[in-house]
Structure 1
């Protein structure tokens, strides 16, 4: 029979080997649709609360253009590119970005805006703090002489009227009554609250929270908030961005940062011009003194030698040599400038160099300009760091290289000028040989006059440069051009409603899915037919759906419910399984792994389904430890199997209970609970009882205790034609299925099959048909389902 069972069974009890499909996985999650619904509602509520209580942030942006060099200096200094002295444009802009990020600039802006003093009030409904900036009812002005630096404090000011208020600091148990405009002594210093009559009436009887923070703490906070970077790597445009809840304050901050940057750049440029002016002034003083001495010497020489005019012959030769003298003067002037610069380099090793002195060699002027720019960058970086900073070290190295290059250029220029001067002097010597005939006094006078002219030329040259420097100092322009002043985004950047609701939707599905996944992963309960088929290789005879009403526990002939129809399908499958047995005495044993899986429910309703006018059925209760049949059938206690075995005076008819509503079905109760059920079941009188029942009835349905707990069911293997092993969906432990598999593999019963009880159904459509219209009572979803648990 076992072979035929495995080869011919189909539909309900045929073993399937296919894996779970996508539809099965989706169905597994759809069973928990209520959890997804609750999760969705919960996350939507949380999203609305988050949007309601989260401060709205906007993005404030400003854009500036860093002005590049418009002269040909870089092309003139192209020879220094191999020494990494001349940097690329991007490097220069990156340096300006670092200057914009420097602490001194931020500190200046914070001090001007008093941003380390923050004013807050609470919203009416959400009670969250909102910063007041342009509409604050008063401004706190601390007296500097009394203010303690680097100390934070939080004050609560309650405004009673336009004139009076109460100030307190709860953490320090400080409270005082005050009047606007008068000095109040606090823990961190004396303060005057200056009212703003435009807004103070709006905050009467309200609390204003004043937070005073150390300036450097606020500087660090805003340094981390402000984002500064290139808009495009190929352009000199820099963007400044900050996300803020106070848009006006953020605009003032960015605009103030740009203004401080430009002022700082102007100060740097003026420093160069001022240094140059000081150098020229010093040189003018020296040359003026030398020129005065020479003029006095001329006067003394002419007076002592009675000279009033130069002879006509000397005038003729002097005219011929005038061009030579001019070149001598220019060359001497350049040599003087070279000497001046060399002296300055020796005396000032770290300071800025005088610029725009008019060197004939353009590379010297370019090197001086580049040296000053790098020196200024180094000083800017040193404001926020130390000499060991890699950037400072790199800039110092470049300055040393430039200084060496400048000294070499000056030496080369000096050598060249000396050669030129010697040539000019040689030519002058030739001219002098032609005027040897002139009186000695005239020659001496001419030498003195020539020295006078040299000094006068140099003096006039320096006066010209002094004026040029003064003009440059007055015409210094900003380093950055403002393309766009700080402006705020129209819509908030945080929180973004679309993203919040998108995350809400994702979490509404994701969180329940994770819970279900781990619940399913950790759950050891059987979940249905396919899971049973994966775990054991035993035919499945039927699936009995769960029910919400106790009335469905006992079926009847005219019952058209899902449970009734499933038992009729179960009956049809059983008849196929038992088709080779004799016409009489077909014995069916019902067991399971543990209590509560529905053995009595299955055996009772199966007996009712098998009973018909042509077939007699006996329901035999052999669960001698915990009998449930009489409770199911609402019958009173009576003698049963244990009474029959112990009392030989009893006959079979004494323990048979007939049912009025099921004429062809008899019930045999287990009787009183014995202390030794195993011994009773092994007795010969019990064997005679079984033989008599098989002879007298067409079907004998035996209700037994769980096979994994006691061995009672295994004592009936010789009498049983078919063993039905009940597995309850959502209740039976998967690990206990090994008991059924062991019984099947070891062939402890001649025929064995599995029945799955309490299968979940999500509609009244089952096995392809619609059942139970008007029969199954609909109940609210939150009421607990009554399981077939007996």
Structure 2
């Protein structure tokens, strides 16, 4: 029992070396697959559109404008370095849909020109288009007021000096009228038309004018062009543009590498130049707008203060003229100074209150960040954190507006920025409300203190007191005017010195002389890997899905019964190979099996050999007949008995007539009546006789024992073919008569699962002298056989090994 379990456990082990052996034997699959994949890779490398890499390096300046008062460009990212630049945000701006679309608006990229080798079939031409420009022999103009086919190649072929043919085909196409952005879809579009050079060509969705250029049309090339909408073009170039930090490990790095793969290196350079120019222009425009808004705000404040100053000066002069009082009395000097200080504080508080109210009103009423002025720009020296909060809000709104061009309302980035804007606005609103309330309380306090001083000054002469008030008011407005004028001068200086934020380190250029696509090394490497994977997978799948025995090593792994020999594969019509194929591998196989069997069992009393199999069709009758002839030709008196009384097949191999085994066992004839000679001198045959549905009773009869005893005396070897053990019990009934049992296993026919029963019988020693005969084997170099000649037979090159199992002293040429 333990032996059987051990055998089953070993059978379940995956044999990697056996699998590799099967791969090696099917080397031609790999050769064919590699030839195909490498050929495809070669075609791809030779004819695929070549693309070159165009690159540029830019440096982002750390200053947002020419003024030192506004130094930071951005302060949104937690990774901002001392420069105040968040490279991830700048990369996002440079690669945004809106910026790329603006860059393409400056370029004439709406029509793309192609050529393709003429030998490609029509259905493959579009897959092998190569973009061109200078070598395109035609000039194409489209009628933007009419519907125009877009995103589909339109082929142009000159059919004469004055006419050309237009063809276009696609399952689904779009037509667009560029003048009003109208359009429609067309399904199963297949168009062919003829036009004249230099004259408008009009159809339902192709409206063009084709002019000849100076160059000549090549007969080896077909020519095509494709019209692309600006929106589609922007999306295409957005996917092509690659932007990376120059040094990702340097936190203070402010350099970016821009690159794009382009079939026409000149177009790639134009595109990168346009992107850089638009990015720089937009940055400068935003800074100029901020500066202009600051100057506009300060102009309004100066006009308001100037008007107040004029009124104060007029009131002072009028009072002096009417009262004749020019100087204040020294006694009230201290009170006047205190009152002046309080008046200044009051003016400052009122200015702050006005700023808070106006800013709060802007926040409550609209999102126009251009109208919001930082406290420092308005002359209010507020808490630096509040100044930072205002600047962050302006930057966030800027990012939101930029993102809005290229994002849907449900875009996560757009939603996140919008939420940050709302959070910052709420924070500013709460800060403003708190500061406004604080300043209002401060103003109440100042007014109370002013009232106290005025009350004390009521004791002074009323004219002198009025003079002091008028002088103080005039001085306050004069100081405020000077302050605002200085601020405006600084703002104008900042506006005048604003520069763009980009410095081009390396102008756009081709980064190498060789194309980056197609990459021959990569293409052939992938082809090689795929060329190995495909046959490997097919062989592996076939092997895993095939549960039949297809290999000697696999058989020895599945079944621990000694292998007597392997019978070579032969023609289906071959019956007795000693007669029809005497010098063939299959005939030699039976000779080897006979020699091995004689060598294993040299005792004279081991004469009766039973031959069976697991199921029908594995070749037990074939092996029985040919093994019998092998013994007979070696000079041994041999008798073959057709013991399969249920489905007899022996008559297919020999010319038999008369009674047979079933007739003898039933008692109707004698032994001499059933033994029939054959064409082979020392081979006799007992035919099965009349077929029996249930011959077990006959096999168990005394006449069967008498027959075997008698035959042992007459013949050197008695070979009995029996029914398959997988169907009926006939074999086990006759087993007591057998000295040797041969179990036939057929190559790529016998199921592995069926062999488990043989393992159990062998492990439990229920069958003595049991051997395997591996039938219908397709010999290869693995087994060490080769032709001597077409007629001389075979020879073996493989060294003989000891048989596993019983006996273990014999060398087996098939092991």
TM-score (norm 2): 0.69
**CA, structure 1 residues 697+96, in 2 after alignment: closer, same or farther (shift >3 Å)?**
closer
CA contact (8 A) 1:724 1:753 kept: yes
Cα gap change, 1:121 to 1:323, in 2 (>3 Å) = farther
2:227 equivalent in structure 1: 211
Cα distance in structure 2, aligned partners of 1:770 and 1:124 = 50
Does 2:609 correspond to 1:588? yes
2:296 equivalent to 1:274 = no
Partner residue of 1:353? 372
Which of 528, 548, 555 is the matching residue for 1:525? 548
The answer to whether the aligner puts 1:573 opposite 2:597 as a matched pair is yes
Task: Return the match for 1:112 from 106, 114, 135.
Answer: 106
Indicate the residue corresponding to 1:374 in structure 2: 393
1:734 aligns with 2:752: yes
The answer on 1:476 being equivalent to 2:495 is no
The Cα of 1:378 is off from its aligned counterpart by 0.9
Give the match for residue 783 of structure 1.
Answer: none
CA 1:188–1:335: 2 relative to 1, 3 Å: farther
Q: 1:669-701 deviations in whole A, cap 9, x for unaligned?
A: 639876889599769988776555432222223
Q: Given the alignment of the two structures, is residue 668 of structure 1 paired with residue 685 of structure 2, yes or no?
A: yes
Q: How does 1:232-271 map to 2 (within 5 A)?
A: 232=248, 234=251, 235-271=253-289
Contact preservation (8 Å) 1:629, 1:669: no
In 2, Cα distance between equivalents of 1:473 and 1:108: 25
The 8 Å contact of residues 562 and 772 in structure 2, kept in 1 or not, is answered as yes
User: Which whole-Å CA distance do the structure 2 matches of 1:277 and 1:527 have between them?
Assistant: 92
Counterpart Cα distance in 1 of 2:331 and 2:119: 103
Residues 432/133 of structure 1: CA separation in 2 closer, same or farther (3 Å cut): farther
* 1:116-151 deviation per Cα after TM superposition (whole angstroms, max 9, x unaligned): 5544443444432333467664354655xx4789x9
Give the superposition deviation at 1:625.
7.7
Unpaired runs of 5+ in structure 1? 1-5, 7-15, 779-790
Match in the other structure for 1:36: 30
Structure 1 residue aligned with 2:131:
131
Range with bigger deviation, 328-337 or 449-458 = 328-337
2: CA distance, partners of 1:225 / 1:58: 12
Cα distance change on mapping 1:403 and 1:541 into 2, 3 Å: closer
What are the equivalent positions in structure 2 for 1:480-495 lying under 5 Å apart?
A: 480-490=502-512, 494-495=517-518
- Note if contact 1:561-1:772 (Cα within 8 Å) is conserved in structure 2: no
- What is the TM-score of this pair, normalised by structure 1? 0.71
Task: Go from structure 1 to structure 2 and tell me whether the alpha carbon gap of 1:164 and 1:268 turns closer, same or farther (over 3 Å shift).
Answer: farther
Query: 1:553–1:601: 8 Å Cα contact kept in structure 2?
Result: no
Q: Which structure has the larger Rg?
A: 1
Partner-residue secondary structure (3-state), 2:131: strand
How many Å apart are 1:280 and its aligned residue? Answer: 2.4
Distance 2:527 2:243 in 1: 33
C-alpha distance in 1 between matches for 2:538 and 2:234: 46
Q: Work out whether residues 567 and 605 of structure 1, in 8 Å CA contact, stay in contact via their aligned partners in 2.
A: no
Q: Is the 8 A contact 1:255 1:486 kept in 2?
A: yes
SS at match of 1:348: helix
Matching of residues 622-771 of structure 1 within 5 Å: 641=660, 652=672, 656-657=676-677, 665-668=682-685, 670=687, 678=695, 692-704=710-722, 706=724, 708=726, 716-717=734-735, 719-737=737-755, 752-763=770-781
Comparing 487-496 and 106-115, the one that deviates more: 487-496
Aligned to 2:416: 390
Which SS does the other structure have where 2:106 is aligned? helix
Change in CA separation of 1:554 and 1:259 when aligned onto 2, cut-off 3 Å = same
Contact 1:138–1:200 under 8 Å retained in 2:
no
Query: CA separation in 1, counterparts of 2:393 and 2:134?
Result: 41
From 13, 17, 41, the counterpart of 1:47: 41
Whether the 8 Å contact between 2:113 and 2:133 is mirrored in structure 1 is yes
Which secondary structure does the structure 2 equivalent of 1:113 belong to?
A: coil
Q: Is the 8 A contact 1:571 1:609 kept in 2?
A: no
CA distance 1:302–1:163, change in 2 (3 Å): farther
Describe how 1:443-592 pairs up with structure 2 within 5 A.
455-456=477-478, 458-490=480-512, 494-536=517-559, 539-540=561-562, 542-546=564-568, 553-554=577-578, 564=588, 567-568=591-592, 570-574=594-598, 576-577=600-601, 579=603, 581=605, 586-592=607-613
Report the Cα distance in structure 1 between the residues aligned to 2:763 and 2:353, rounded to whole angstroms.
113
2:172 matched residue in structure 1 = none
Matched, 1:618 2:639: yes
Closer/same/farther in 2, CA of residues 330 and 569 from structure 1, 3 Å limit: same
**2:155–2:225: 8 Å Cα contact kept in structure 1?**
yes
Greater CA deviation, 615-624 or 269-278?
615-624
* Cα drift, residue 228 of structure 1: 4.5
Alpha-carbon separation, structure 1, partners of 2:221 and 2:678 = 88
Instruction: Establish whether residue 599 from structure 1 lines up as the match of residue 593 from structure 2.
Output: no
The superposition leaves residues 412-448 of structure 1 with CA deviations (integer Å, 9 ceiling, x where unpaired) of 89999999999999999999999x9xx979x988876
CA deviations 1:494-544 (Å, max 9, x no partner) are 55433333333333333333323332222232235554455556x435112
Mapped to 1, the partners of 2:650 and 2:198 lie a distance apart of 94
Pairwise CA distance, 1:232: 1.9
1:50 positional shift: 4.3
Query: Cα offset for 1:203?
Result: 10
1:290, distance to aligned residue in structure 2 (A): 4.1
Counterpart of 2:248 in 1: which secondary structure? coil
Equivalent residue of 1:122, what SS? strand
Cα deviation code 1:704-733 (max 9, x no counterpart) = 554556776667556543332222232323
Query: 3-state SS of the aligned residue for 1:209?
Result: strand
Per mean C-alpha deviation after superposition, the further-off stretch among 88-97 and 326-335 is: 326-335
Say whether the 8 Å CA contact 2:155–2:167 is kept in structure 1.
yes
Per the alignment, in what secondary structure is the counterpart of residue 62 of structure 2? coil
- Give CA deviations for 1:140-164 in whole Å, capped at 9, x if unaligned: 4655xx4789x95747363659997
Contact 1:597 1:726 in 2 (8 A): yes
Cα distance change on mapping 1:319 and 1:250 into 2, 3 Å: farther
Please give the alpha-carbon distance, in whole angstroms, between the structure 2 residues aligned to 1:201 and 1:225: 31
CA spacing shift, 1:575–1:148, aligned 2, 3 Å: closer
What secondary structure is seen at the aligned counterpart in 2 of 1:543? strand
The SS at the match of 1:727 is: strand
Q: 1:156 and 2:154 equivalent?
A: yes
Structure 2: how far apart are the matches of 1:432 and 1:680? 150
Q: How many angstroms apart in 1 are the aligned matches of 2:101 and 2:279? A: 12
1:30-81 superposed Cα distances (whole Å, 9 cap, x missing partner): 22222222222233233334445654455554444433359997999xxxx9
- Mapped to 1, the partners of 2:601 and 2:758 lie a distance apart of 18
